[in-house]
Amino acid sequence: MSNNTEHLVRGFDNEINHVHTLIVEMTQLVTRQMEQALRALDEGNDELAKQVVIGDENVDQYEISIDSEVLNILARRNPVANDLRTILSISKIAVELEKIGNDIIDFAGLVAYLFGPDTSNPNHVLLQEISKFGNLVKSMLDRLILVLEKNDVQPAYALLENERDCQTEFRDGIRQQLDFAIKDARRISRALTLMHMMKVLEDCGEHCCHIAGYMIFMKDSIDFRHSA
């Protein structure tokens, strides 16, 4: 290999590593936001929830930066095979992370509303149920970070294997909230808010599963899209 070719290869590797670093940092940021939103829920802290909402711009900036880097690599390097698969997967993962970030903002906004000065304290047992679902999403994000940091795709496979069980848990929780509202019409408004929170967390879980699929595609070239 000539010095010039070696220099080009090294430069290309550095660019891919840089984009990979950005996606790791974006995943870590989204995970920290989820932790903060769940802490606001557990503590009944509407001000902390509002801080999560304000931090949305940081997630958006990561997506913009990753998009820019991906476009530059595609235009300048014309990657093929494994490199192209890696770049495209990272781009798709960034989109899903941005969606999770938006969902967390919605969730934090609902937490701020629940504990705001104009509403009464919600049912503690029901909040514990929502906190459980939130921590389930947090564990999904932790698995995704492991895949990215350790270059070990097994946690992504494990996440997809548990996908159906997670969906069942979320839907059982939403059904419980609906039953709660039917039994006491005075609490319909509060129950609808809690159901909305659960639906947002369910959406987060679905995005995590999409990311796991992209990670498997990136590492093992197996496409899980549209699989049963």
CA 52 to CA 33: how far, in whole Å?
A: 6
pLDDT surpasses 60 at 9: no
Count of domains observed in the chain: 1
Q: Are 137 and 208 in contact (CB under 8 A)?
A: yes
Would you say residue 140 lies in a domain? yes
pLDDT at position 47 is: 92
Which residue matches tokens 């979320």? 170
Q: What tokens were used for 85?
A: 């698969």
Which residue matches tokens 């660019």? 15
| Band of residue 110 on the pLDDT scale cut at 50, 70, 90 | very high
Would you say residue 214 lies in a domain? yes
With vertex at residue 31, the alpha carbon angle to CA 26 and CA 33, rounded to the nearest 5 degrees, is: 95
CA 217 to CA 13: how far, in whole Å?
A: 19
Q: Which residues contact 122 (CB under 8 A, 6 or more apart)?
A: 114, 190, 194
The string of pLDDT tens digits covering residues 202-221 is 899 999 999 999 999 998 98
- Portion of the chain with pLDDT greater than 70, in percent: 85
Q: Are 38 and 131 in contact (CB under 8 A)?
A: yes
Q: Are 101 and 59 in contact (CB under 8 A)?
A: yes
pLDDT surpasses 70 at 3: no
Q: Is 100 helix (H, G, I), strand (E, B) or coil?
A: helix
Would you say residue 228 lies in a domain? no
Range of the domain at 114: 3-220
Would you say residue 226 lies in a domain? no
| Band of residue 7 on the pLDDT scale cut at 50, 70, 90 | very low
Q: What is the CATH number of the domain that holds 170?
A: 1.20.58.220
